[in-house]
Structure 1
Amino acid sequence: MNILITNDDGIYAQGIYKLACALDNIANIYVVAPDRQRSATGHAITMHEPLRAEKIKFFDKDFQAWAISGTPTDCVKLAIEALIPEKINIVFSGINKGPNLGTDVLYSGTVSAAIEGAILGYPAVAVSLADFKDVDYNYAAEFCMSLAKKILDNPLPEDTLLNVNIPNCKKETLKGVNITTLGVRKYKNSFIERIDPRGQSYYWLGGEIMDEKNHEGTDIHSIKNDAISITPIHFDLTKFDLIEQVKKWNIEIN
């Protein structure tokens, strides 16, 4: 079995290293990831400049690994279509430092990389550790290994991926695994204006999280209650139940 691993935190992040080490127990590992931090790039691809792929030594491992000058989505496309001759069985993206919950998946480079894997026809998983401080990836990596085995025995439908968020707590304190829906996460954006040495304004985007009413069954509720969240996602954004209503508008060419 061959597993492609990528992320958006960069190829030298601890999360991707721990994930690769765990999955090495069950598969041949290929690592193709950004050469630097590329968080919150969404599903961006590089079109107006060349992509550079540098084969590197991946920590203390002998995996085939490439550092890519582009986005997480670039990494998956380039890996599958140009770099790796073998058939890939699963695409893993992560382990991300910080959660990817609710509507934040639309911004996430981690999730977008997994979406690209699904678009290209491969089972795909995005994995995030839902914290930024004092993170311990060990159990999250162990969980990914068991999840990979489950996926091999239970193939995902086409155009589908799993978005996994794992609480940053000890294994003994976890409250189980919930199969969830996406919650709603919005931000009270705060742009901080500053002046550069030339007198020109520039802005830093901050933001205060405002979690909406996220009831039991959502990924946000699950994480808040120390349970692993697994959300099946598909990328057909069509609002099917609105099609007939819009047809009744009788929209015509003027």
Structure 2
Amino acid sequence: MKFLLSNDDGYAAPGLAMLAQTLRRYGEVVVVAPERDRSGASNSLTLDRPLTARRADNGFYFVDGTPTDCVHLAVTGLLDFRPDMIFSGINNGPNMGDDTLYSGTVAAATEGFMLGIPSIAVSLAGHSGKHFASAGKVVAQLVERCLEQPFAQPVLLNVNVPDAPPEQIGEMQVTRLGRRHAAQPVIKSQNPRGETIYWVGPVGAVQDAGAGTDFGCIAANQPSLTPLMLDLTAYGQLDRISTWLHR
């Protein structure tokens, strides 16, 4: 198999190195990742300037753009082959519930899916970054399953793995996205010139973390696998909005 890898933590991130190490056992690996941390970049494309792609000593390409830029550039011009699968990660931190809308990790996989390639975002659901090998083991399980039974059509999957030793992690579960409460207020401070500056506040507390959610699965020390979709149409509101518009 031929794999394209990217992330949002930057090309030097340990999670990306673990992902590449894991996937090299199954085929050819090419890495195209941002030159620096672009967490929270979501699905943004750089349209106001050209992009550059350079190669690091370890063979990884690094791009002065967003995670979405990296995958788009790789598939539509940089590579001389079409990847069989795209993996994004392994992110240092969770990407669950509402957070997937902001995640550069998920965005890189989303771009691959939009280009017609099965794509999987992988995150280590903790902030210590101690157990990337556990996430690597989950990635290996997914690839082996794909080799046994390939996807009939492109899919977009979001995987979160507990930041714990492999022997402490349970069986992977298919989940839906949970929900958070609204984010906390911005944090105000002053720069040396006396101007008010603002930091985006912390995420809100978890609101929907019951059985069957990604939050609930991670709390039970099980890897979470959530299939995602991109159609944002609110089908349940079409008739109501049509009636409202034409009354």
What TM-score does the superposition give when structure 1 sets the normalisation length?
Answer: 0.92
**Contact in 2 for aligned 1:187/1:207 (Cα 8 Å):** no
Residue of structure 1 equivalent to 2:4? 4
1:238 lines up with 2:233 in the alignment: yes
Q: Match for 2:197 among 195, 202, 206? A: 202
Matches within 5 A, 1:101-250: 101-152=96-147, 153-155=149-151, 157-158=153-154, 160-250=155-245
Comparing 189-198 with 209-218, which one deviates more in the overlay?
A: 189-198
Change beyond 3 A, Cα 1:90–1:208: closer
SS at match of 2:95: coil
Instruction: In structure 2, give the amino acid aligned to 1:29.
Output: V
Question: What pairs up with 1:56-67 in 2 under 5 angstroms?
Answer: 56-58=56-58, 64-67=59-62
1:30 is matched with: 30
Question: Which string of whole-angstrom CA distances, capped at 9 and with x for unpartnered residues, describes residues 8-49 of structure 1?
Answer: 000000000001001000010000000000000110110101
* Identity within the alignment, %: 37
Letter in 2 for 1:4: L
**Separation in 2 of the partners of 1:23 and 1:106?**
26
Which residue of structure 1 lines up, in the alignment, with residue 90 of structure 2? 95
CA distance, structure 1, for counterparts of residue 203 and residue 56 of structure 2: 38
Which secondary structure does the structure 2 equivalent of 1:231 belong to?
strand
What letter is aligned with 2:189?
Answer: R
Alpha-carbon separation, structure 1, partners of 2:92 and 2:123: 6
SS in 2 for 1:220: helix
- TM-superposed deviation, 1:192: 2.0
1:197 match: secondary structure: coil
Alignment partner, residue 16 of structure 1 = 16
- Displacement of 1:99 in angstroms is 0.2
CA distance in 1, matches of 2:139, 2:130: 16
Aligned residues: 246
Letter in 2 for 1:142: K
Moved more, 90-99 or 230-239: 230-239
**CA distance 1:156–1:42, change in 2 (3 Å):** farther
Tell me which stretches of 4 or more aligned residues in structure 1 moved more than 6 Å.
none
Preserved contact between residue 134 and residue 164 of structure 2 (Cα < 8 Å): no
Q: TM-score, normalised by structure 2?
A: 0.95
Give the unaligned 5+ runs of structure 1: 59-63
Q: Report SS of the residue matched to 2:51.
A: coil
Q: Give RMSD over aligned pairs.
A: 1.5
